[in-house]
């Protein structure tokens, strides 16, 4: 009997569902501060400067990130205009591609279409993956390129007649990763491959002419842009990109609270929610059985281990830095789910893990109701949240019944849907929370009501957003604070005398600042200045400061 091939069916289903998870409604909330507007602003200023090679920020070349995401943003702006949807289009598209890539890697490695489908579903419905697919960062694009480079290698490894093609594809995707986030785009997949082949005692796999051609292709694709930037900007680019953005982040913590040994281990588990418990068990089994793992699980273990060991010693830690290992976590967790729930009948392991997951999910509607009552200023319209909590509880009741009846396939699907429910409530609540995460409302208020003829004074958090939404010059007030980790070409006032001189020179200054800045304005009242609060929007106040004459 010929077994039916469900690959096309699975890919179509995953594409449609991932569109709903990542692309659908991703323009409802405007671009948020401070990072989404950083990337979007750089591409917007590239359009203004008429360049495709040099990213700009506040009217000056900026060297924090490589060029590839900015190319994608410029293409999106050409297609859709400079909008939130355009800025988030390619991260969502890459998120969809990553789900399909994970499916094919699992299918090749596990030789099971159904198991591959579950692995892809786990990746698609994990919290961090959804979040980065719906926001403007380099990390989704970077990680998908790494996923595809490793998929290319493993495909060739399992099908030796495809070895030459797989090495070329590995080199192409690695080169694109280098253009997206730097040299780690090559070193991460290369180290994964080397560690895997070393563990398999097959390092001779790399002793072929194709590897030389692949290395040449990688250099031809990735190096010209870096060479252009070094030639054009010399020491400025070298210092900012290679030292400040790489070496300094390794030896100095940008986010002090994250610089702990347990930050990444906990993040790996928590950010795979709602599959956290399954992934934790899968990781434990990978470590426990490391000497007798099958080929794909060994490959996944090398993948996870390399990414973790590359970033763990660095003092600057963000969960997005280790995002390249999340596809491997999803495949490990999906394999465990399939083996314990969908392949065997009435498996007690899945039953227990599902009950624990269900109990954790139950905290969400409870937490939503508690937050709506305790923080009415942030949630003035709580009715949509109550609807959300009610729908979520219905879903949880269905999941519990499925668990008790050992309907594990249905349980997996219900858990997947649970995370998507969070996005259904966004259209009804965005008016409440959006002003707290984005500068658009404050910027529009200023432009609509006042004739802004000089520099706008902002808090550090809002500087990029105000610039993006107003196209005006900005300056930053942050008394006794620290400058940006990568200094921006804007006036930055961390001391009162500098601020006083700036305000006096401006005459009349409009401000988008935190409430705490009002204390500094109070002190300036006795020194020839006056101010009035024009409006409060979200967590900022709109202020007019005037230098008294005479």
Contact criterion met (CB below 8 Å) for 337 and 350? yes
DSSP state of 490: S
pTM of the model: 0.94
Tokens of 465: 């957003």
**3-state SS, residue 535:** strand
CB contact burial 285-317 (16+ within 10 A = b; e otherwise): ebeeeeeebeebbbbbbbbbbbbeebbeebebb
Strand partners, 535: 542
DSSP state of 323: G
Query: Residue for token digits 């997947």?
Result: 416
DSSP state of 438: -
Query: Could you write out the three-class secondary structure of 158-169?
Result: HCHHHHHHHHHH
How far, in Å, CA of 504 to CA of 55, rounded?
33
| Predicted local distance difference test score (pLDDT) of residue 422 | 72
Distance between start and end Cα atoms, the chain = 97
Contact criterion met (CB below 8 Å) for 480 and 498? no
How far, in Å, CA of 395 to CA of 399, rounded?
6
Strand partners, 543: 511, 533
How far, in Å, CA of 7 to CA of 179, rounded?
32
For residue 46, the tally of other CB atoms under 10 A from its CB is 23
Backbone angles phi, psi at 317, to 5 degrees: -125, 130
Tokens of 184: 């780690």
Long-range contacts at 164-170 (CB < 8 A, ≥ 24 apart): 164/210, 167/208, 167/210, 167/211, 167/213, 167/214, 168/210, 168/213, 168/214, 168/217, 170/214
Tokens of 141: 């694009």
DSSP state of 189: H
Long-range contacts at 369-378 (CB < 8 A, ≥ 24 apart): 378/432, 378/433, 378/436
Query: Residue for token digits 């591959």?
Result: 116
**3-state SS, residue 440:** helix
319, containing H or E segment: none
Residues 6+ apart with CB under 8 A from 358: 396, 399, 400, 403
User: Which stretches in the chain have pLDDT values below 50?
Assistant: 1, 344, 550
For residue 61, the tally of other CB atoms under 10 A from its CB is 21
Tokens of 287: 């470590």
For residue 442, the tally of other CB atoms under 10 A from its CB is 28
| Predicted local distance difference test score (pLDDT) of residue 343 | 56
The dihedral region occupied by 301, where left means phi > 0, alpha psi between -120 and 50, and beta the remainder, is alpha
How far, in Å, CA of 243 to CA of 222, rounded?
19
Contact criterion met (CB below 8 Å) for 334 and 120? yes
- Beta strand segments in 53-145, E: 56-57, 60-61
289, containing H or E segment: none
Backbone angles phi, psi at 412, to 5 degrees: -60, -45
Backbone angles phi, psi at 115, to 5 degrees: -65, -40
Bond from prior residue into 34 cis (ω within 30 degrees of 0): yes
**3-state SS, residue 443:** helix
How far, in Å, CA of 424 to CA of 447, rounded?
32
| Predicted local distance difference test score (pLDDT) of residue 427 | 64
Cα–Cα distance list, 380 to 376, 383, 431 (Å)? 5, 9, 10
């Amino acid at each position: 009997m010929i077994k039916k091939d469900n690959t096309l069916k699975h890919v179509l289903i995953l594409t449609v569902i991932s569109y709903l998870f990542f692309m659908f409604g991703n323009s409802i909330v405007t671009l948020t501060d401070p990072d989404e507007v950083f990337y979007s602003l750089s591409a917007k200023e590239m359009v203004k400067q008429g360049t495709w090679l040099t990213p700009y920020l506040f009217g000056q070349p900026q060297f924090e990130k490589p060029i590839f995401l900015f190319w994608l943003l410029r293409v999106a702006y050409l297609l859709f205009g400079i909008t939130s949807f355009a800025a988030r289009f390619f991260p969502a598209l890459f998120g969809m591609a990553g789900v399909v890539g994970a499916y094919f890697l699992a299918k090749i490695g596990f030789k099971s279409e159904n198991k591959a489908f579950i692995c892809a579903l786990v990746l698609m419905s994990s919290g961090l993956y959804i979040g980065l697919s719906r926001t403007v960062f380099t990390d989704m694009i970077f990680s998908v390129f790494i996923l595809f480079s490793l998929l290319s290698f493993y495909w060739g490894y399992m099908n030796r007649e495809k070895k030459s093609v797989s090495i070329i594809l590995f080199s192409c995707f690695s080169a694109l990763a280098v253009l997206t986030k730097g040299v780690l785009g090559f070193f991460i997949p290369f180290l994964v491959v080397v560690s895997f082949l070393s563990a398999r005692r097959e390092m001779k796999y790399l002793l072929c002419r194709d590897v030389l051609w692949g290395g040449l292709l990688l250099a031809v694709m990735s190096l010209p842009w870096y060479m252009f930037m070094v030639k054009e900007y010399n020491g400025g680019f070298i210092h900012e990109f290679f030292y400040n953005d790489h070496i300094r982040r390794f030896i100095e913590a940008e986010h002090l609270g994250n610089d702990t040994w347990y930050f990444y281990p906990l993040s790996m588990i928590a950010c795979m929610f709602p599959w956290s418990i399954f992934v934790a068990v899968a990781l434990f089994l990978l470590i426990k059985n490391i000497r007798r793992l099958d080929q794909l699980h060994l490959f996944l273990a090398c993948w996870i281990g390399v990414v973790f060991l590359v970033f763990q010693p660095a003092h600057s830690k963000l969960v997005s830095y280790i995002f390249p290992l999340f596809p491997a976590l999803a495949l490990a967790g999906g394999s465990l789910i399939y083996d314990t729930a969908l392949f065997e009948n009435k498996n007690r392991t899945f039953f227990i893990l599902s009950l624990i997951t269900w109990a954790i999910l139950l905290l969400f509607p409870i937490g939503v109701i508690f937050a709506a009552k305790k923080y009415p200023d942030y949630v003035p319209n709580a009715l949509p949240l109550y609807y959300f909590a009610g729908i979520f509880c219905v879903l949880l009741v269905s999941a519990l019944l499925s668990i008790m009846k050992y309907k594990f396939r249905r349980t997996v699907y219900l858990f997947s849907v649970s995370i998507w429910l969070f996005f259904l409530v966004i259209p009804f609540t965005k008016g409440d929370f959006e002003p707290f995460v984005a500068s658009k409302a404050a910027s529009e208020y200023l432009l609509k009501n006042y004739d802004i003829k000089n520099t706008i004074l902002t808090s550090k958090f809002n500087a990029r957003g105000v610039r993006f939404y107003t196209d005006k010059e900005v300056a930053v007030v942050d008394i006794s604070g620290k400058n940006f980790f990568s200094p921006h070409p804007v006036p930055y006032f961390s001391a009162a005398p500098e601020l006083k001189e700036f305000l006096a020179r401006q005459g009349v200054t409009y401000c988008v600042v935190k409430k705490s800045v009002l204390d500094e304005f109070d002190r300036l009242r006795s020194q020839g200045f006056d101010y009035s609060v024009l409006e409060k929007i979200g967590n900022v106040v709109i202020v007019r400061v005037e230098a008294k004459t005479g």
